[in-house]
């Protein structure tokens, strides 16, 4: 029993470390992707990254909260009362409002150091990054090889 507990603990630790390493790789890939696309000069980069990192932290917190409340109702859609469904809809609307507010704050803050064109390039770059990441995940799971 003691050996089984040790093995389980090692497996869990290994999984957590692997997930953390994947997240670090994705973050590094995103930084490189944005840096290349925006062509920031040193002054712009010095002003951009702290503001962008705060935005990313806010968005991560909002998305984590959203996932948590969606996960809590996902397993029992059929058993959800109208009252619970209404509360869930309100939480979704609030999360969307917070995302919009965070993006608006980012745009205003970056407007002090970046040109409007570079801000638009950033917004497009974020979408391009998401698309590329999703394609990599899909292809990495056999998406290319399993197509008929």
Q: Mean pLDDT over all residues of the chain?
A: 84
Q: How far apart are CA 94 and CA 42, in angstroms?
A: 37
pLDDT digits (tens, 9 = 90+) for 21-79: 777 888 888 888 898 899 988 888 899 999 999 999 999 999 999 998 888 888 777 78
Q: How far apart are CA 32 and CA 46, in angstroms?
A: 15
pLDDT of 9: 54
Q: How far apart are CA 88 and CA 111, in angstroms?
A: 35
pLDDT digits (tens, 9 = 90+) for 64-121: 999 988 888 887 777 888 898 899 899 999 999 999 999 999 999 999 999 999 999 9
Helical H segments across 1-148, by residue range = 2-38, 42-74, 82-110, 116-140
DSSP annotation of 6: H
Q: For the whole prediction, is pTM greater than 0.75?
A: no
């Amino acid at each position: 029993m003691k050996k089984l507990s040790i093995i389980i603990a090692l497996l869990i630790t290994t999984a957590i470390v692997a997930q953390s390493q994947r997240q670090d790789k994705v973050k590094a890939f995103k930084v490189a992707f944005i840096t290349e696309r925006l062509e920031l000069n040193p002054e712009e980069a010095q002003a951009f990254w702290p503001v962008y990192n705060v935005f990313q932290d806010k968005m991560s917190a909002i998305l984590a909260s959203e996932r948590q409340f969606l996960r809590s109702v996902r397993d029992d859609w059929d058993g959800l009362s109208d009252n619970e469904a209404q509360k869930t809809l309100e939480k979704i609307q609030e999360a969307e409002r917070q995302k919009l507010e965070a993006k608006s704050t980012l745009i205003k803050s970056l407007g002090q150091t970046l040109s409007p064109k570079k801000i638009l390039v950033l917004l497009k770059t974020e979408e391009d990054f998401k698309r590329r990441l999703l394609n990599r995940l899909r292809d990495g799971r056999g998406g290319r090889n399993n197509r008929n």
